[in-house]
Structure 1
Amino acid sequence: MMSALAQFRVEISGVGLTQMPIAIAGFRGEGQSPVKISGVIQADLERSGHFKLMDAAGQALDEGSRADLPLWRQRGADSLAAGSVTRLPDGRYDVRFRLWDVVRGQDLGGQVYTVPAGDLRLVSHKIADYIHEKLTGDKGVFSTRIAYVTKSGRQHTLWVADADGENAQVALASPEPIISPAWSPGGDSLAYVSFEARKPVVYVHDVATGRRRLLANFRGSNSAPAWSPDGRTVALTLSRDGGSQLYVMDASGGEPRRLTQSPGIDTEPVFSPDGRSIYFVSDRGGAPQIYRMPASGGAAERVTFAGTYNISPAISPDGRWLAYVSRVNGAFKLQVMELATGTVNAVTDTAADESPSFAPNSRLIVYATQNQGREALMTTTLDGKIKARLAGQDGDIREPSWGPFQK
């Protein structure tokens, strides 16, 4: 795997309504560290939308300090984190941190890591996850991974990166298009569609080893793979029997079983988190809309009714939300529907949104769009209040897929 030279940067836009004020002191020794740990933690927490970063400049603190909590309370902080990073004689780094609840005057614990330099970013994300979970009750997603595709000239590249877009590694490079990457529930594999055989074919790629295997190369088109929550089956769109219809097959291969028998095009399947339903896009009513049917097949019910063109469904892991892209006055806009009520909110002001994918804690969505004339990956909170740009340096950047929690 090659490293991406282009580092991503986070630009935050928007203001959330309820944000917890937190101070992250500079880690003692991070000036001699290849990664500014406190900076990574701050960017992670800011992107989540839950935190307001307070200035902790000039404060010499570490995990062993007796922090003057009333002073921090006076400065408006509800919580405080501090730590240290030390290079060991064997070249590894000792990273320690501690978190305090300033309001209650409580020590909320900390962590110690001993890691090679290459894992300092991962440790920073894990510290941010710890802080996020302690203070919000929700698991943090900063140490998870995203996959996405870039096109530069004729080169198409499938990347795997940290959730902030940094530390990107090449999973596959091809002169032919690569589309629809989808993480397996265990986070060890990606299914995707490659056109290297001059038609769409589905492969499964082992992220750790780079090995891949052919999953679906039937007559006609093979596209839009989606894993079942238990990882045993894959739903996909095949045109082997004529029009594009939905099938399921064993994740290890074999003969697919047809699920739909519609006169239209059925595509973009996704499983509900309980594995009982499949959401998909069909133009059976004359225009693309999102439908839901039992995962074993059977009658489908329509889910989207606003607008004449709704595609790219994504279901939040907690089963509460449906994200999708709707064409509104010629613009393609990310929408979020609360499934229990059917209430829909538009969460962006951009006009070329595509490929939404939920974070594994259901609190953020990553999507591709055009921002200020450039292709970009963005994350947004579900209310659209806090957006962060993960800015790629060259070529089109699209098709993001947010991986699961790391086992």
Structure 2
Amino acid sequence: MTRTTALPALVALLAALSGTVAAAPAPARAAAEPVTFRVDSTQDAVDADASDGACRTATGTCTLRAAVMAANARPGSTIELPAGHYRLTIPPNPDLLNGRTADPTTGDLNLTAPTTVRGAGARLTVVDADRVDRVFRMGADTRLSDLTVTGGVAKQREVPVTDPGGGGIANGGHMTLNRVTVTGNSAGYGGGIFNIPGSHLTLIDSTVSRNTAGEAGGIRFDDTGTVVNSTIADNRVTDDWNRPGSLSGYGGGIDIRGRGLVEIRNSTITGNSATDGGGGINIAPAYLDSLPSPITDVVHLPLGHLALHNTVVARNTVGQAPADCKSVFATVESRGNNLDSSNSCRLTAPGDLPGRDPLLAPLGDNGGPTDTVALLPGSPAADAAAGCPATDQRGVPRPQGPACDIGAYEHRQ
């Protein structure tokens, strides 16, 4: 797509980011009290009566899909998922693919009411789309904890604003992920998670890893977000996707296209790769980096805002070259005590360590509910942070030495 033909789409996206595009109204529901649904089957089967607010399939079991449908009729409910592998086996309805109308009976799991989904642990409870569709589509405020989201595929449609991608999760509300692993998903945009305009993601003690996309391998932010004590590792952006738009290949770990603040604290962003833009983090609101230079005459800069504190951004690449950060029409604010191995994040605050190798181990099981990236002996990130959370991503108390460590992992002394 040329810059000229891309301009209408960019204008539309700018309008969406400024709040001039209203979200579709939620369907009316009868008032019902929230309850806790306890899933007792790993089968993928629909609720026998989605309107009665009871989780019951035709055979009398409570499946994850049936629980989602029942929770949509009872806002504020909780779904409890015991240990198990929950595979989605019902493909999406081909008549609804272009508009991507939410259909909880087929394809991905569509949550349209505020809901909490609670597993037994990310290593024990696995929700697997088995490549039939994405895993979750969130149309309301949701909370997911103690589970793994994997196997999702969001195939690129013609209208990215109404079909946002997100191989693991497409988020349209305020979503919190706590002790969650999002891994092995793929999409045109947002291989792991896609957050559309008007949404907010809070990621705590979680790992987003080994997802692939044509843009935003791990996470795409089109609005605000908060990442705390989390690992974004080994995500990839490739040229294999037939992705419309004037830009592709950007943001191996995180791609930020919104105007709101994305804040990252005590986290580790490493081993991500892209074919253009930032291998670790790319921030360029509303694709303004694809427009000709005269756009700077009419745009008040900067528009995007990323804030880093006590965070490792290291060993990310574009092609074979080190490339941790890239920002265009945006501010990368250091709130101190960050480490950037390629010196591309332009860190200048007190305690920052630009151009330093953090000496990291590969992503792996270092104890705790989710995989982490350990600090090796002699790492300059050890004892180099200030103002950390009380524990690291694994739940290990901080500090273990005279001061806490930069990143999501606290090195045991």
TM-score (norm: length of structure 1): 0.29
Higher normalized strand content (fraction of residues): 1
Bigger radius of gyration, 1 or 2? 1
TM-score (norm: length of structure 2): 0.29
RCO (CA 8 Å, sep 6+): is it higher in 1 or 2? 1
